[in-house]
Structure 1
Amino acid sequence: MEYLEGQSRRNNLVFEGVLESQGESWADAEAKVKKILTEKLQLPPTVELERVHRVGRPDGERSRPRPIVAKLLRWKDRDTILHRAKQLKGTNIYINEDYTDAVKRKRKELMPELRAARERGEIAFLRYDKLIVHPRTTSTPNQGR
């Protein structure tokens, strides 16, 4: 079951930090995502979104806007968006993959180990629900040539 849920989410991206307006419709949320894609990430307007919606119940007292889940028609577009998401640095907008609750829990558990590895100077990152760590190597000139 977990596998099927993960597969159904594979073309999804989660947009966090996108301002929310009172009584916002799904069409409004879609327009905001399209604007981010075209204006901030310089993507062509041909990127097709299958479905876009906010997650959770609207609450007028929320200090943060609800995340937006966008299902993309093509995996390639999703991948391009993730690679260009670093262009949003300095804004309050973040784009992440949409993981199942079990994967989110596992990634959260791995965060202290990830930080520790990076503090040791190792190359460390999360891939799905796994921690990948590579020691930094220094290259030395070839001897005996």
Structure 2
Amino acid sequence: MKVNIKDEAITTFNEILNIDSEPIFSNHVDTSSSKSIVNSFNQRLRIRKLLKKPCIKTTINLEYNLSQYQIKYIVQEYIREIKWDDLQYAGFIQKHTQDNITVNIYFSRITFDKLKVIDLKFLKQNWQETEIIQKAFIQAKLLTA
């Protein structure tokens, strides 16, 4: 399975308003509508108003045919393993074809632990992240076998 992970810091959560699908997973976010998702993130940002790039957008591309359940499992394992599972986030499947899946995850950089901020220097894909996805892929295949 081919994996590509791209992290980027962005200035607002407003691009979520243009997504036409519902999130497949989230944490500490009201998912009743796109607007409520953005409002959930913005409410948290009021605590750290001077933060210029409060959002991390992670794009994960997987070249393999997977069910939505498997995608959700793989991405949630990834989030847990990189220790961002306590952040506020929402994840969307942007593209799902026979053998190509793109998932976008929007994270707030503000932690719930003493309102610390995730450092942007950590936004580089490394071999460990790819390995996390590949291990989760094997587990997801076993769970649905």
Common fold by TM > 0.5? no
TM-score (norm 2): 0.36
Between 1 and 2, higher relative CO (CA 8 Å, sep ≥ 6) is seen in: 2
Provide the TM-score with structure 1 as the length reference: 0.36
